[in-house]
Structure 1
Amino acid sequence: MFMMTVAANVVPLVGVFHLGWSAQTFAVIYTIELVVAVPFAGLKALFARCPPNYDELERSGEDDPPKPDERGEVSVGSSDLTHRRGSVAIVDPLPPIYPRNVPFVARAFGSAVALVGMFLFVLGRFVDVPATLADPSVAASVVFLVFSHVGVVNREYFRKRRHETSTPRDVVASATTEAGLAMVVLMFAIVGGPVGALVAFVAVKLFAEWRSYRGEVPFDPEEGMGTLSPVAAPDAPPTVEVRPDRRSVRATALWWGVKSAVSGGPAYLFTWVGLTAGSVGTIAATVVCFVLLPTAIGGLKTLEYGLTHGTLAYQRRDDTVVAYDDLTETVQWVTPVDDIRDAELCEGELVDRACGTRTFSLTTFAGEYELSVAHLREYGQAVEAFELPVETTAFGPLDQRVAGAAAAVGACGVAAVAGLAYSAPTIAAVVAGFGGPFGVVALRSAWQWALPAA
């Protein structure tokens, strides 16, 4: 089997060096194969049955554990959704999907966007990638690649039941590592033009296949597997039940999606440069890179936040606070009322201030993680029913001058980029690509400055 793979990847080299085949065409096809594998890995990760290694996820973020109102800032590692218990059956022939794996899907699609931008930026120096993709034979090859990936996933992942022993991080990391390695090698091989790019892709492909054949994959599910034991809750019916306000959850989810979409500005810029260097017009490239791609990335982040908070119900059962997920029909966490050591109002929630809702972080004596009771409109009822030791449910005064100035500067920045897009699209693309992430950081700092001092 491995020798067949070697032969299949050596044939293009023989054709290019001895039969006059187009190295540009094969370089583009290899690029598409590497990039397509990443979102497919994200879709596969949805079905991974084994939880990730939570210690590794925490270490992949900041040194200090994130505060409850700051979770979600670091991709995957700080998302509360990764601790979600339970699964959902979507289609009968397929295994259930696990909501806790959605952050890994978002990571995979974000990585795919970044890889597309980098590959287009590098290959665009000597290959007209859009024109090459428009060639009927290349387009047919791309369609074949997509269908072949579907067949491989069905045969190797589902029929052999590898999803039962896989972790989502392992599935995503295996694809992103191969594509990232190809990107690094391509940087050094670019001096060889299309032929150098083809040699680089073939070398990385054979190396990855050899490691897989030898069983020396760098990410072993058995080593990266975590535990997520079921939670036992009292059988008594809930005496009190409060739910997150849907409007507040949707607005916050949209806000998180916008921030995530804007933060990917450099990847959109590299993609825009690669497309406009070829045969794609400026307007079409702008729509793809600064409208469609941000919408896709932001949409996944919006979905992630909605699944994190929008499907929960907070209940009082006997002397216990229970978080129950209506989507997976599973208890998520349980804490006795007497075990709640501290409860704190999250001052930094922008949408809570606008919608009149409240989010509380709970610290328990025995809990390993802080618990969150988010976006409650009946927060007074929750404080009384759950006996939360919170000092106040009223937000402190916000510095209106700082908040207003930050909003005005942000609006002016968006208007300036929109104006530049008509007269100087290249400058507008550069400003949007690098100014977007900077603007997110600046607005976040201004918001923290405007909040009342602790």
Structure 2
Amino acid sequence: MRGLPGRPDSTATLFGGAVALLGANLLPLVGVVAWGWDLTALLVAYWTEAFSTVVLAAVKALFAERGSPGIPGQIEPLHGLREKRGGWQFRPTWPPLYPRNLPFALSILGFWLVTVVPLSVLYWFSADLTLVLTLDLALGIGALVIAQGSDFVFEYIGNGEYADVSAQEIVRTPAQLSLVVVSVGLLAAAESRASGLLILALVVAAKTTVSMYQFYVEHVGTPILRLRERLFDDGTDSEPPPELDLPNADVSGRVTADARAVLLGSVGAIAFGFVNRVGFLTLVFLVLAIVAGDFLWLAVALLAVLVLASARVLSYFLRYGTVEYQRRGDDLVAYDTALEAPQWIASVDSGADFAVRNAIADRLLGTGTLTIADVESVDRDVRLGPVSDIDRAVARLDLPVQQTERPERDPAVIAAASVLLLFFLAVPAGLFLTPDVSDALAWGLSLVFAPFFLLPVGALAWAALSRV
């Protein structure tokens, strides 16, 4: 992360930050040499630092101003929020918090929760480690954490580094550093009993070198060894900020989204909240808790599922429920009233391709939604709605739309899709009803073959509901 043009990092500030970071990283060496820190104390100090690095990276990602192109083939939690534009500024002297960066912040936190934390707990109990919390250990941990916090306040926020970095860049760097820290700790664990003080001192030196090199790359911006480009980068991690400028024309008509239809539509989107690493492992945890029959673990798993489902509903509402559609001259603008920023701008008089969206929520509530193909401002299809009265919206926004009716109710399609849906659901139901198959085996088979059943079951359910 380089400083902003016209707002360079001062030499004194950089030097002070480097000295503070160096001192905080060398403090564990004092603990090893003078205070008798053992392997357990060193691992706890570095694990805590790594965890605080991840949490702080998630916070930094929310402020990152530049856009993130994303990683091909990867779906982050709340992936749909990446298309939001604008942000909330909760402090006048701080930059806005951008909802579009929330998926990247959650991805790095989720990675730790489903990989590093369980492995760390497993290692702790398998190695039968004991820890005595002393004043010097608390001082060492505090110094490492405070060094990162001061870098965030004075460098990242104070010197405006947030304006020259993307969320995707931020979450990669701490993930790499955290893996290095954990790997160094595990290597030290394998050798410390035989080599004693020398190995512990080498661990501290290696960790200090990694931290100082990372500080140099972030603040000076010129990698020495180019290891990141060779090992991790498969393309650019940053692109220009995606904000749009409003057309220079007055609002001649406006229509708001129907909150009821948005909330009902979010129910169907909950399933997509589990189509990622964190969501899938949460479902696995739920199945294992059911098989184990432990009430506490079952309660925790259900709470995790509820949190993911609620987050999906809230993100869906933020994406569509706070939008007002405005006619400004020859342009149609989707303006988010909560973020006070345009989400997309479509030119109405340039052959815009409108179509009626056959949404289930619209059929049940009598609302309506339009889609617009290949909108140039965002280079994708967009949607207008759901709105309470689609005909009134077309007239108020003066849109070139002639047909607003959805397909008629089709009982034959509903019946056929429902019968096929029951046939698919009968397979896992039969596993639980067959006395020769244990509950544990039934749950295990259901979990393994769930991805193969969810696609046809979801398609049949949608086909039936879309013709209600």
Given the two structures, how large is their TM-score scaled by the length of structure 2? Answer: 0.68
Residue 84 of structure 2 is matched in structure 1 by 84
Amino acid at match of 1:4: G
Residue 157 of structure 1 is matched in structure 2 by 156
Query: Judging changes above 3 Å, is the alpha-carbon distance between structure 1 residues 357 and 224 closer, same or farther for their aligned structure 2 residues?
Result: same
8 Å contact from structure 1 (residues 344, 360) kept in 2 = yes
Amino acid at match of 1:210: Y
* Cα distance in 1 for residues equivalent to 2:251 and 2:308: 40
* Cα distance in 2 for residues equivalent to 1:148 and 1:47: 19
* Cα distance in 2 for residues equivalent to 1:32 and 1:438: 38
Residue 75 of structure 1 is matched in structure 2 by 76
Query: Judging changes above 3 Å, is the alpha-carbon distance between structure 1 residues 92 and 291 closer, same or farther for their aligned structure 2 residues?
Result: farther
The alpha-carbon deviation at position 446 of structure 1 amounts to 2.1
Residue 67 of structure 1 is matched in structure 2 by none
8 Å contact from structure 2 (residues 25, 208) kept in 1 = no
8 Å contact from structure 1 (residues 30, 201) kept in 2 = no
Amino acid at match of 1:260: G
> Mapping of 1:371-450 within 5 angstroms?
371-384=382-395, 385-388=398-401, 392-394=405-407, 397=410, 399-400=414-415, 402=417, 439=450, 442-450=453-461
Deviations 1:238-291 (A, max 9, x none): 33x32222123234445545642585356448989xx9xxxxx96545544x14
Deviations 1:213-245 (A, max 9, x none): 354284899972324353332523333x32222
Are 1:316 and 2:327 matched, yes or no?
yes
The alpha-carbon deviation at position 323 of structure 1 amounts to 1.0
The alpha-carbon deviation at position 297 of structure 1 amounts to 4.2
The alpha-carbon deviation at position 177 of structure 1 amounts to 2.7
8 Å contact from structure 1 (residues 87, 328) kept in 2 = yes
Identify which of 213, 218, 227 aligns with 1:210: 213
8 Å contact from structure 2 (residues 24, 147) kept in 1 = no
* Cα distance in 1 for residues equivalent to 2:261 and 2:128: 46
8 Å contact from structure 2 (residues 369, 387) kept in 1 = yes
Deviations 1:191-224 (A, max 9, x none): 8288799888985674354243354284899972
* Cα distance in 2 for residues equivalent to 1:222 and 1:445: 37
8 Å contact from structure 2 (residues 26, 204) kept in 1 = no
* Cα distance in 1 for residues equivalent to 2:380 and 2:325: 17
The alpha-carbon deviation at position 332 of structure 1 amounts to 2.6
* Cα distance in 1 for residues equivalent to 2:246 and 2:451: 41
> Mapping of 1:174-213 within 5 angstroms?
174-182=173-181, 185=183, 189=187, 192=190, 203=206, 206-213=209-216
Deviations 1:27-74 (A, max 9, x none): 24423332332232222222222233xxx32x6248xxxxxxxxxxx3
> Mapping of 1:331-410 within 5 angstroms?
331-347=342-358, 349-364=359-374, 366=376, 368-384=379-395, 385-388=398-401, 392-394=405-407, 397=410, 399-400=414-415, 402=417
Query: Judging changes above 3 Å, is the alpha-carbon distance between structure 1 residues 262 and 365 closer, same or farther for their aligned structure 2 residues?
Result: closer
Identify which of 255, 280, 295 aligns with 1:242: 255
* Cα distance in 1 for residues equivalent to 2:352 and 2:95: 40
The alpha-carbon deviation at position 312 of structure 1 amounts to 0.6
8 Å contact from structure 1 (residues 410, 439) kept in 2 = no
SS in 2 for 1:163: helix
Query: Judging changes above 3 Å, is the alpha-carbon distance between structure 1 residues 3 and 191 closer, same or farther for their aligned structure 2 residues?
Result: closer
Residue 111 of structure 2 is matched in structure 1 by 111
* Cα distance in 1 for residues equivalent to 2:251 and 2:303: 46
* Cα distance in 1 for residues equivalent to 2:455 and 2:172: 30
* Cα distance in 1 for residues equivalent to 2:188 and 2:449: 30
Listed as ranges, the gaps of 5+ residues in structure 2 are 1-18, 433-437
Are 1:35 and 2:51 matched, yes or no?
yes
Are 1:305 and 2:316 matched, yes or no?
yes
Deviations 1:384-408 (A, max 9, x none): 5422366752377454554577589
The alpha-carbon deviation at position 173 of structure 1 amounts to 2.0
* Cα distance in 2 for residues equivalent to 1:77 and 1:269: 16
Are 1:45 and 2:61 matched, yes or no?
yes
SS in 2 for 1:33: helix
Query: Judging changes above 3 Å, is the alpha-carbon distance between structure 1 residues 357 and 146 closer, same or farther for their aligned structure 2 residues?
Result: farther
Amino acid at match of 2:26: A
Amino acid at match of 2:238: G
SS in 1 for 2:95: coil
SS in 1 for 2:245: coil
Residue 102 of structure 1 is matched in structure 2 by 102
Query: Judging changes above 3 Å, is the alpha-carbon distance between structure 1 residues 313 and 350 closer, same or farther for their aligned structure 2 residues?
Result: same
SS in 1 for 2:87: coil
8 Å contact from structure 2 (residues 249, 329) kept in 1 = no
* Cα distance in 2 for residues equivalent to 1:187 and 1:344: 58
Query: Judging changes above 3 Å, is the alpha-carbon distance between structure 1 residues 188 and 105 closer, same or farther for their aligned structure 2 residues?
Result: closer
* Cα distance in 2 for residues equivalent to 1:181 and 1:400: 57
The alpha-carbon deviation at position 362 of structure 1 amounts to 1.0
8 Å contact from structure 1 (residues 242, 382) kept in 2 = yes
Given the two structures, how large is their TM-score scaled by the length of structure 1? Answer: 0.70
Are 1:8 and 2:8 matched, yes or no?
no
Query: Judging changes above 3 Å, is the alpha-carbon distance between structure 1 residues 39 and 268 closer, same or farther for their aligned structure 2 residues?
Result: farther
SS in 1 for 2:380: coil
8 Å contact from structure 1 (residues 311, 325) kept in 2 = yes
Deviates more, 1:157-166 or 1:86-95: 86-95
Residue 233 of structure 1 is matched in structure 2 by 247
Amino acid at match of 1:245: D
Amino acid at match of 2:63: F
Query: Judging changes above 3 Å, is the alpha-carbon distance between structure 1 residues 37 and 365 closer, same or farther for their aligned structure 2 residues?
Result: closer
Query: Root-mean-square deviation (CA), in Å?
Result: 5.0
- In percent, how many aligned pairs have the same letter? 20
Query: Judging changes above 3 Å, is the alpha-carbon distance between structure 1 residues 435 and 31 closer, same or farther for their aligned structure 2 residues?
Result: farther
Query: Judging changes above 3 Å, is the alpha-carbon distance between structure 1 residues 403 and 147 closer, same or farther for their aligned structure 2 residues?
Result: farther
